[in-house]
Amino acid sequence: MAAMEASGSGGKGQGPEASVPYFRLEEVGKRSSSKEIWLVIHGRVYDITRFLNEHPGEEEVLLEQAGTDASESFEDVGHSSDTREMLKQYYIGDVHPSDLKPEGGSKDPSKENWCKSCWFYWIFPIVGAVLLGFLYCYYTSESKSS
């Protein structure tokens, strides 16, 4: 079930008395069929069941993302400001704070490790180019002196 908690002044402009339902990601994950489809986009939960047949990208696109955090896919497509405005009518609550990833933290630790060693991928081409340059100079100077 959704946990009802006071949201304070973050209550979507409804004043400090408004409360926002919070949903666990586990609960959102259970809503992943064509009969009921929920998505998480930027920490907010949307019930898009009514929109399934109207989606211009066909319902399969939404069913692939059903019950998950679809923020990255939503942004990758480049939805318009009109679409973002329309999304508000399907808003049903927020993801429970304990299920949110910490701000500034890397979502994928393997990407973080790759970035630490990315210099390694540049050094080989640079060293190779310098070495080839020296070899070229050496052989061209040898041929001129002969």
Task: Please tell me whether the overall predicted TM-score, pTM, comes out greater than 0.85 for this model.
Answer: no
**Winning range, highest mean pLDDT, from 47-56, 106-115, 132-141:** 132-141
Identity at 73, one-letter amino acid code: S
Amino acid identity of 131?
L
DSSP 8-class letter at 72: H
DSSP state of 69: B
What does the pLDDT read at residue 118?
Answer: 63
CATH classification code of 3-99: 3.10.120.10
Segment 11-24 mean pLDDT: 64
Residue boundaries of the structural domains of the chain: 3-99, 109-145
C-alpha separations of 127 from 30, 94, 117, 130, 141 in Å: 53, 51, 16, 5, 21
Q: How far apart are CA 2 and CA 17, in angstroms?
A: 18
In this prediction, residue 50 carries a pLDDT of: 85
pLDDT, tens digit, 9 for 90 and up, residues 80-127:
788 888 889 989 999 988 888 765 444 444 444 555 556 666 777 888
Q: Which residues are bridge partners to 95 per DSSP?
A: 23
